[in-house]
Amino acid sequence: MRLISQLAQWFDARVQLASAIRDTAEHPVPRQTASWFYVFGSGALVIFMMQVVTGILLAFVYVPSAGEAWNSLQTLNHSITLGWYIRALHGWGSNFMVAVVLIHMVQVFLFGAYKFPRELTWIVGVFLLLMTLGMAFSGQVLRFDQDAFWGIGIGASISSRVPILGPWIVHLLLGGPIIAGATLSRFFALHVFAIPALLLGLVGLHLLMVLKLGINEWPMPGRIVRKATYEEEYQELVKKDGVPFVPSAVWKDIFFAGFLLLLLALVAAYYGPFGPSGRPDPTIIQTAPRPDYFFLWLYALLSLLPPQMETPALLIGPVVAIAFLLLLPFLAGEGEKSWRRRPVAVLGIALVGVILGTFTSLAGHAPWSPVMDAWSGDPVPKQFLENRSALERQGVLVFQLKQCRNCHSLGEIGGKRGPALDSVAVVQTRDQLVRQVIQGGGNMPAYGKNLSPAETAALVAFLETLHPQGQSPARNASRALANQPGAASPGTPR
Amino acid sequence: MTLRENMTRRALLVKLGIVFNACVAALLAIPILRYLLSPAVAGGKSSYRNWLSLGSVEQFPEGQTRFATFTNPDVQPWDGKTAQSACWVRRIDATRLQVFAINCAHLGGPVRWFPDSSFARVMAEPTTKTARALPVLPSEGFSSIRTRLKMEPY
């Protein structure tokens, strides 16, 4: 111990940082900020450091070349001792990072910590969030499998919609007009060098401001923020009811950091690494690419938006959202901090959470996407074959062979892009069924050219049998009237 | 020379030094920016406008849509499988062909064509309207066909 102490003194006589570190560690913070709600910022920092360490370890083996990246990942997964585990730590770490950063942001927002004088801390935080998402996206590109290949193509497609600059942005993003070796190289440079350097700088600035301006005090209802008086009130609070950051507040950060790392270690060990999935071969198109979980909501949104709304949503939505976040401290820089007195803030968070959660959940099973092997893999349930005439059974064959099952389910088996057809005869008359099949409509293509009259007749005959037992199929009342004896034909003057 | 005159002269030298470094930085910025922005003008690269062979016309029967692959016009040794690309070729009749890019017009996802159902499936929309057309150039007396990349494939 004496030797360690002497070594420490030798270093500090030359580096002369011990005093500054001690002052920083023991700086007073309001007592109530020694709370579990305040641990997410440090949690995000710890996960970030874990990502840097595991990233460096992966870079010992990973080859950032379009021709070899996939092979190097297979080597990591199967040939390097615990390579799969380091990949799993890094991949799951990315998911944890996004989640913890978002939770931290929500906590800061609900505690009003973006208000005076911490406006710049919040603004830097918004940029940190954007860069975290940038790291997450570029990290998935580096996996360079089917998902990554088509995913970057979709990113390029979205970028191409920017007016005037679109094509240039695509070429800069991809390193040319197409996805090739140059694309992976530049994403590697962005993911490993450019964005982390920016992150380190901005995290340093963010932490410096937290230290200089003090931890945001616990938001009490009725404690109003006013620019003229806030700083004096804060200093008085710290003087009257302050505790040293180390050890009074930091022990919770330490425990939470340990808990996060343990959780990450367990999740990585249990679930293993992400992919890589299929080879990034542009000639392999039997694929259903998906982004990682934090962009699934966008995948669902773009799949469900009407085409004419896509470009405005893609170009205007993010700009408005980011502008709102950056301007928030100036729009609501004073006033109440407590969420109990800010119902709009709480409802806003709840609404955003529900929207993102719903879209993410939808993207999980993608009901808008046809099940392309339903026609060959899912037999028609037995109950739809019993008590059918020969023509109706012929209609079943047409229904199966023309791949209607891919979009329409029967007995809950099949695609969900179109409505389930178990009771279609109740909602559409015979004429309506014929029109729908031949002319299509909505998302359904027209099948008129692909079905002979006989096939159409058989198919519609089958569809007319699809109604619940005891319930009659829909009938065209005017047809019944028109077919009565003595009824005038259309156009005949009465 | 008085202390005040020395301070003024040194202050001037500092300013001159800053200006000098600013000029050097501007000089260095030119090639750096050109390097960074060079892909944005890659469209000007003549090789991207080359016609790419899709092979003999006989492999595309009339009235059918077939999958075809071609090699990208500007290939690097480390491109691996990404040196290849794909398209759909529809032979309308004896003398007319259409070529569709593999990236859908919606968001660039892969287009899959199913002859039995006569629609293309992409990630979101199975519709014949989602594939982008590429230029077609029949050649060698219509025995083979060529196509060309669009500069904005996405």
Subunit contact B108:A150, Cβ cutoff 8 A: yes
Q: Are residues B78 and B14 in the same domain?
A: no
Asked whether residue B93 is assigned to any structural domain, the reply reads yes
Collect all residues of chain B within an 8 Å Cβ-Cβ radius of residue A190: none
- CA–CA separation, A176 and B152 (whole Å): 10
Subunit contact A181:B121, Cβ cutoff 8 A: no
pLDDT in tens, B70-119: 888 888 899 999 999 888 888 888 888 888 888 877 777 788 776 654 54
Task: Choose from A74-83, A397-406, A470-479, B106-115 the range with maximum mean pLDDT.
Answer: A74-83
Question: Can you tell me whether residue B32 is helix, strand or coil?
Answer: helix
Exposure of A115 in the CB half-sphere (CA atoms within 13 A)? 22
Among B76, B84, B102, the residue with its CB nearest the CB of A181 is: B76
A324: closest CA of chain B, how far (Å): 27
Subunit contact B149:A177, Cβ cutoff 8 A: yes
Q: Are residues B21 and B82 in the same domain?
A: no
pLDDT in tens, A481-492: 777 776 665 555
> How far, in whole angstroms, is CA A237 from its chain's centroid?
41
Task: Count how many residues are written for chain A.
Answer: 494
Asked whether residue B88 is assigned to any structural domain, the reply reads yes
Q: A194 CB near a chain B CB, below 8 Å? A: no
Q: Are residues B71 and B7 in the same domain?
A: no
| DSSP notation for A332-357 | S-SEE--GGG-HHHHHHHHHHHHHHH
Collect all residues of chain B within an 8 Å Cβ-Cβ radius of residue A183: 82
Q: What is the predicted ipTM?
A: 0.79
Q: Are residues A172 and A210 in the same domain?
A: yes
Q: Are residues A162 and A255 in the same domain?
A: yes
Residue bearing tokens 């870079």: A59
Q: What's B8's DSSP letter? A: H
Select from A310, A333, A365 the last residue of a domain: A365
Q: Are residues A202 and A140 in the same domain?
A: yes
Residue A198 CB contacts under 8 Å (≥ 6 apart), including other chains: A131
Q: Are residues B20 and B60 in the same domain?
A: no
Q: Are residues B59 and B107 in the same domain?
A: yes
Among A167, A175, A445, the residue with its CB nearest the CB of B152 is: A167
Q: Are residues A307 and A390 in the same domain?
A: no
pLDDT in tens, A226-246: 999 999 999 999 999 999 998
Is A104 within 8 Å of A40 (Cβ atoms)?
yes
Residue B59 CB contacts under 8 Å (≥ 6 apart), including other chains: B66, B68
Q: Are residues B95 and B121 in the same domain?
A: yes
Which CATH number characterizes residue B84's domain? 2.102.10.10
Q: Are residues B118 and B61 in the same domain?
A: yes
Q: What angle do CA A445, A451, A452 make, to 5 degrees?
A: 155
Subunit contact B84:A66, Cβ cutoff 8 A: no
For residue A243, the model assigns a pLDDT of 92
B95: closest CA of chain A, how far (Å): 22
Which CATH number characterizes residue A460's domain? 1.10.760.10
Q: Considering only alpha carbons, which residue of chain A is nearest residue B36?
A: A172
Q: Are residues A361 and A384 in the same domain?
A: no
Asked whether residue B153 is assigned to any structural domain, the reply reads no
For residue B124, the model assigns a pLDDT of 32
Q: A485 CB near a chain B CB, below 8 Å? A: no
| DSSP notation for A256-305 | HHHHHHHHHHHHHHHH------S---TT---------GGGHHHHHHHHHS
Q: Are residues B142 and B109 in the same domain?
A: yes
For residue B137, the model assigns a pLDDT of 66
pLDDT in tens, A338-360: 999 999 999 999 999 999 999 99
Q: Considering only alpha carbons, which residue of chain B is nearest residue A287?
A: B110
Q: A168 CB near a chain B CB, below 8 Å? A: yes
Is A138 within 8 Å of B7 (Cβ atoms)?
no
Collect all residues of chain B within an 8 Å Cβ-Cβ radius of residue A308: none
Subunit contact A176:B84, Cβ cutoff 8 A: no
Please give the residue range of the domain that contains residue B22.
3-42
Examine residue B31 and say whether the peptide bond preceding it is cis (omega within 30 degrees of 0): no
Q: Are residues B19 and B76 in the same domain?
A: no
Asked whether residue A229 is assigned to any structural domain, the reply reads no
Q: Are residues A156 and A281 in the same domain?
A: yes
Please give the residue range of the domain that contains residue A211.
24-223+234-365
A152: closest CA of chain B, how far (Å): 9
Amino acid letter for position A378: D
Q: What's B110's DSSP letter? A: B
What are B129's two structure tokens?
A: 């309207």
Q: Are residues A257 and A193 in the same domain?
A: yes
Q: How far is CA A296 from CA A137, A290, A310, A363, in A?
A: 12, 7, 16, 6
For residue A454, the model assigns a pLDDT of 93
Count how many domains chain A has. Answer: 2
Select from A313, A335, A365 the last residue of a domain: A365
Helices (H), A144-249: 146-159, 166-174, 181-189, 195-213, 230-241
Asked whether residue A337 is assigned to any structural domain, the reply reads yes
Q: Are residues A423 and A341 in the same domain?
A: no
Asked whether residue A357 is assigned to any structural domain, the reply reads yes
Asked whether residue A351 is assigned to any structural domain, the reply reads yes
Q: Are residues A274 and A146 in the same domain?
A: yes
Residue A213 has pLDDT above 90, yes or no: yes
Which CATH number characterizes residue A55's domain? 1.20.810.10
Q: Are residues B62 and B76 in the same domain?
A: yes
Count how many domains chain B has. Answer: 2
Asked whether residue A427 is assigned to any structural domain, the reply reads yes
Q: Are residues A310 and A358 in the same domain?
A: yes
Question: Can you tell me whether residue A488 is helix, strand or coil?
Answer: coil
Q: How far is CA A373 from CA A200, A369, A401, A402, A417, in A?
A: 48, 12, 11, 12, 14
Interface size, chain A vs chain B, as Cβ–Cβ contacts under 8 Å:
157
pTM of the model: 0.84
Q: Are residues B73 and B120 in the same domain?
A: yes
pLDDT in tens, B38-83: 888 755 566 777 788 888 888 888 888 888 888 888 888 999 999 9
Q: Are residues A268 and A219 in the same domain?
A: yes
Q: Are residues B23 and B79 in the same domain?
A: no
Select from A299, A334, A365 the last residue of a domain: A365
Asked whether residue A12 is assigned to any structural domain, the reply reads no
- CA–CA separation, A282 and A296 (whole Å): 22
- Partner B, chain A 144-163, Cβ-Cβ below 8 Å: 149-150, 153-154, 156-160
pLDDT in tens, A311-321: 888 889 999 99
Among B41, B72, B126, the residue with its CB nearest the CB of A370 is: B126
Collect all residues of chain A within an 8 Å Cβ-Cβ radius of residue B81: 66-67, 279-283
- CA–CA separation, A170 and A160 (whole Å): 6
Collect all residues of chain A within an 8 Å Cβ-Cβ radius of residue B103: 153, 157
Q: Are residues A361 and A392 in the same domain?
A: no
Subunit contact A450:B117, Cβ cutoff 8 A: yes
- CA–CA separation, A53 and A55 (whole Å): 5
Asked whether residue A484 is assigned to any structural domain, the reply reads no
Asked whether residue B21 is assigned to any structural domain, the reply reads yes
Residue A411 has pLDDT above 60, yes or no: yes
